[in-house]
Amino acid sequence: MAIGSEVVNMLLPQGGYYMSGDEYEGIQFLECEPISKAQFEAGFAQYDAWKAEQDAKAAADKAALLAKLGIDEADLKTLLN
């Protein structure tokens, strides 16, 4: 389950806001276009799918880089230690 700050980060990835707490009323839109309370509340339903998509993309990018380097996860751990 997402928290308010995660939802706002998803909806406003460029930043430009300040958030105090996890409620809509705690958001101050400083250098960004404000989102509505309805958008904020709908973001909770969207967050899990968005996060899964972001995690899958990061894993695919990592796998592609390892393949390009010709190493696997164990080799990477060995190199980093």
The pLDDT, as a whole number, for residue 75 is: 92
Mean pLDDT of all residues in the chain?
95
Give the Cα separation of 54 and 40 in Å (integer): 19
Give the Cα separation of 40 and 8 in Å (integer): 7
8 A C-beta contact, residue 22 and residue 1: no
8 A C-beta contact, residue 24 and residue 5: no
| Per-residue pLDDT band at 1 (split at 50, 70, 90) | confident
Angle at 54 between CA 51 and CA 32, to 5 degrees: 80
Q: What is the mean pLDDT of residues 43-71?
A: 96
Q: What pLDDT digit, counting tens, does each position of 22-45 carry?
A: 999 999 999 999 999 999 999 999
| Per-residue pLDDT band at 57 (split at 50, 70, 90) | very high
